[in-house]
Structure 1
Amino acid sequence: MQFLNGITLLLVYQLVGEVAVRLAGVPIPGPVLGMVMLFLTLWGRGGMAESVTQASTALLSHLSLLFVPAGVGMMVHFGRIADEWVPITLALLLSTVITMVATALIMQLTTRWLIGAGAGQGGRADD
Structure 2
Amino acid sequence: MSADLVQASNLWPFIAYIAAILVVIAAMLAIPHFLARPTAVRAAGEPFESGVVPAGDIHVRLTIRFYPVAIFFVIFDLEAVFILAWAVAFRETGWLGYIEMSIFIGVLLAALIYLWRIGALDWRTERQKLQDAQLRI
Q: Could you tell me the TM-score, scaled by structure 1's length?
A: 0.26
Question: Which structure would you say has the larger Rg?
Answer: 2
User: Comparing both structures, which one devotes a greater share of its residues to helix?
Assistant: 1
Q: TM-score, normalised by structure 2?
A: 0.25
> Looking at both structures, which has the greater relative contact order when contacts are Cα pairs under 8 Å and sequence separation is at least 6?
1
